[in-house]
Chain A
Amino acid sequence: MPLMRGVAIVLILLTQGVSAQPLAEARRVISADGSITEIVYALGAGDRLVGVDTTSSYPPAVRHLPKVGYLRALPLEGLLALEPDVLITTHEAAPEENLQRLERAGVPVVRFDVPRSAEDALERIRNVGAALGRERQAEALTRDLETSIGATTRARAQSGPGPGVLFLLAAGNHGVMVAGKDTAADALIQMLGARNVSAGVSGYKPANREAILATSPDAVVIAEARPGQFRIEDWPEIASLAAWREGHRYVGDSMLLLGFGPRLGEALADFSAALPPLQEAFKIRLLPQSTAHHAH
């Protein structure tokens, strides 16, 4: 084992690639991240894309582009075959070995952090703009986005704990999952001054029917990977929640809601519309307390 470890370390040192500076005039771009693909289109550079990963589904024009697979299993030869000038992706991209070899083949790999706040989302748009030589468009886009985000979050600003939100993710064949803390969904909830009723769990966890009934949220938000993936008929527990019956609910596209891309403003506005108006939320929280007081 010590010998193998030594060999391994030497090999790691040998294979560290030197990353080249991205070219602003890159004509052939591969984007391996759904939100980054959206940004590239929003900056008017969609025609430069020659390939995208399987998480890229918006705008509809991406459907005609070659798919290079999932961003955590990027194929080296498949990427090279598209003769890209640059690969833009996130730090989630893998396998590392293929990305390093891609750089050694002369294709710069630009990687961004996955944003979890409005500031980071805006910063990423500026960075993608800089990488593509579209700084001016990126500036205009971030200005608009900042305005629309600000309008929604200011309208939601309040003192005290906000309305409780049950955030569910219906994705792939994992079934329906609740979004706990440390998720993009949780970040979205906090931006709107609301409270995540599932903050007790971390990450996305399979939804427990009984636990859903116990949460009694003020609003239900469901992100689905494909339209129609969430079927309320399968979830009588959710249908029976007061929030759902009273219409404090929103079912939307998961890339729109959780992508933190150029549609973040839209996501916040749609989400916010599902929340009960501020006063009402206040009342709902007071009511059970006052009845409890009576009984006492």
Chain B
Amino acid sequence: MLIDAAGRVSQGPALVVMSGLALAVALISLASGAYPLALVDILGLLGGQDSSDPVHHMVLFEVRMPRLLLGFLAGSVLAVSGAILQGLFRNPLADPGLIGVSAGAALAAITVIVLGGTVLSGWVDLLGRWALPLAAFAGGSGTVFLAWKIARRAGQTSVATLLLAGIAINAVAGAGTGLLTFYADDSELRSLTFWTMGSLGQASWDDLVVAGPWLLLALILAPLLARPLDAFLMGEQVVGHLGYSTLAVKRGAILIAGLGVGAAVAVTGLIGFVGLVVPHVVRQLLGASHRTVIPYSALAGGTLLVAADCIARVVVAPAELPIGLMMALIGGPCFLALLLRTRMV
């Protein structure tokens, strides 16, 4: 029996299928791109063979490989953060954007884009191409921390206050972004538009070295929250009765989402939809336990983002579509199909 009475898929086969799919997408991702690279050459290069053309080597190991790894890690972290926040807020519409990560990161990134040549030239001179990612990371995790502090004020952390604080911070950050957009010149305007649509187009090993540890840390820590978050589904009081500290769970969830998404957004720009849709799909197919949702969201989120990137870099070659755009194009219809399927069962 692969599908049970509730229309859910058994875990064993699901793991095989999902891992197989992830592997297949990874291989396709290495084999697709604007540069014509034969599959034989790719396999040869992967097998350690020296290519006659050094550009082949570069395309595979310096363009496609870091792009694949960064895409997979970022997709995993976004999906896992979405799953955790949906569990914490017990709200299916929660996504990393809700607690202000994206808005904070966007405000910081756009500040660097617009004011980098004038007010912030010192920051940009000091950090070069890392000025923007570091600012985005600081902005993203900083806003989450702020939302947390606001919700913590009364001595205990209310999830509802956290949510409202996130919404308020989103509004303020959005206003700041809008103001900077007004002062931006035409080329800055284009740059920030592209940043808000996300891209893996400049992914390099440097990005992986800088953002990778944070992303991995978030992925390693996330499963620790699975059981307490399952308890959260039964109400905040139950968490305490089952022996978990609600404060520790909330802090852990915020920390993982804040640092993980902050790091992902810093190197890829804003990529929506993964965090919202992937946990839903996993829950629909495999059940709502976080012990399932978290690891499978990681696998599915990474696979989905890499798949979207494969398409984004091929359809308008030699140019590329923004990955955020591609994500919405793929994710939207998939999500709708899933909704319709649920209604019919």
Contact = CB atoms under 8 A, between A and B. Distances in A.
A296 interface: no
B129 interface: yes
B56 to A, nearest CB: 10
Interface residues of A, number: 43
27 contacts: A4-B210, A7-B209, A8-B134, A9-B127, A11-B130, A11-B209, A15-B204, A67-B319, A68-B318, A72-B190, A72-B194, A75-B313, A75-B318, A76-B202, A77-B34, A80-B34, A80-B58, A82-B318, A92-B187, A95-B129, A97-B129, A97-B204, A101-B62, A105-B58, A106-B55, A182-B185, A204-B185
A101 B210 contact: no
A204 B186 contact: yes
B209 A81 contact: no
Given A4-B210, A171-B186, A203-B186, A54 B319 contact: yes
Given A7-B209, A94-B191, A96-B129, A78 B204 contact: no
B244 interface: no
Interface in A79-104: 79-82, 92, 94-98, 101, 104
A166 B183 CA distance: 20
A114 to B, nearest CB: 9
Interface of A: 4-5, 7-9, 11-12, 15, 51, 54, 66-70, 72-73, 75-82, 92, 94-98, 101, 104-106, 171, 174, 182-183, 203-206
B63 interface: yes
Q: Which bucket holds chain B's interface residue count?
A: 35 or more
A53 to B, nearest CB: 9
B62 to A, nearest CB: 6
A94 B194 CA distance: 11
Contacts of A73: 194, 199, 201, 320, 322
Contacts, number: 118
Contacts of B280: none
B130 A8 contact: yes
Contacts of B185: 182-183, 203-204
A231 B318 CA distance: 34
Interface string B301-323: 00000000000010011111010
A69 B130 contact: no
B194 A80 contact: no
B318 A67 contact: yes
Nearest to B189: A174
A66 B187 CA distance: 22
Nearest to B35: A81
B318 A66 contact: yes
Nearest to A92: B187
A12 B129 contact: yes
Nearest to A171: B186
A102 to B, nearest CB: 10
A72 B127 CA distance: 20
B206 interface: yes
